[in-house]
Chain A
Amino acid sequence: MTVVLDPTSELTPAARQRTARPESLNGLTIGLLDISKPRGNVFLDRISQRLDSLGAEVIRYTKPTFSKPAPVDQRHEIATNCDAVIEALAD
Chain B
Amino acid sequence: MNKTENNEPGTLTNEADNSKTENETGLLSLTTPEVPPLPEGLVAVVKRDCPTCVLVKPVLHDLHRRAGLTVISQDDPDFGEAADWVLHDHDLALSWHHSIETVPTLLRVSSQGIVTASTVGWSRPQWEQFTGVADLGEGLTEWSPGCGSLSVDPAHADTLAVRFGSAGLHSRRVELASLEDEWEAMWNRGWSDGLPVVPPTQARVLRMLEGTSRDPSEVIAVVPPSLVECSVEKIAVNAVMAGCTPEYLPVVIAAVQASCNDEFNMHGVLATTMSVGPVLVVNGPIAARIAMNSALNALGQGNRANSTIGRALQLVVRNVGGGRPGEVDRATLGSPAKVGFCFAENEADSPWGSLATSRGWREDQSTVTVFAGESPRIFVDQRSRNPESLIRHLAQALRVTGSPRMLLGIDAMLVLSPEHMARFVDAGWGRNDFMAALGEELLINSEEVLSGADGIAEGLPTAAAGRKVPKFRDEGLLVVQAGGDAGLFSAIITGWSNGPGGSDPVTHEITP
Which chain A residues have a beta carbon within 8 Å of chain B's beta carbons?
Answer: 1-11, 13-16
Contacts and interface: CB of A to CB of B under 8 A. Distances in A.
B200 interface: yes
A4 B188 CA distance: 14
Contacts of A10: 171-172
A37 to B, nearest CB: 19
Interface in B221-266: 223, 226, 228, 233-234, 237-238, 241
A2 B189 contact: no
B50 interface: no
A5 B237 contact: yes
B506 interface: no
B163 to A, nearest CB: 13
Contacts of A15: 25-27
A6 B190 CA distance: 11
A14 B191 contact: no
B115 interface: no
A9 B170 CA distance: 12
A4 B322 contact: no
15 contacts: A1-B175, A3-B28, A4-B199, A4-B200, A5-B200, A5-B233, A6-B171, A6-B174, A7-B200, A9-B322, A13-B25, A14-B25, A15-B26, A15-B27, A16-B188
In this complex, the member of B169, B189, B201 whose beta carbon has the largest number of chain A beta carbons within 10 angstroms is: B189
A5 B172 contact: yes
A5 B26 contact: no
A14 B172 contact: yes
A56 B315 CA distance: 44
B311 to A, nearest CB: 13
Contact of A5 (B169, B188, B320): B169
Nearest to A13: B25
B191 to A, nearest CB: 5
A9 B315 CA distance: 12
Interface string B23-42: 00111100000000000000
Interface of B: 12, 25-28, 169, 171-178, 182, 186, 188-189, 191, 199-202, 205, 223, 226, 228, 233-234, 237-238, 241, 315, 319-322
B322 A2 contact: no
B174 A9 contact: no
Nearest to B228: A9
A6 B237 CA distance: 8
Contacts of A3: 12, 28, 173-176, 201-202
Contact of A14 (B12, B174, B177, B228): B174
A2 B233 CA distance: 19
A53 B175 CA distance: 41
A14 B24 CA distance: 12
A71 to B, nearest CB: 16
Given A3-B173, A3-B175, 13 more contacts: A1-B177, A2-B201, A3-B174, A3-B201, A4-B182, A7-B234, A7-B315, A7-B320, A9-B223, A14-B25, A14-B27, A14-B172, A14-B174
Contacts of A14: 25, 27, 172, 174, 189
A7 to B, nearest CB: 4
B324 to A, nearest CB: 11
A1 B181 CA distance: 10
Contact of A1 (B178, B223, B233): B178
B322 A11 contact: yes
A70 to B, nearest CB: 15
B226 A11 contact: yes
Given A2-B199, A3-B28, A14-B25, A8 B176 contact: no
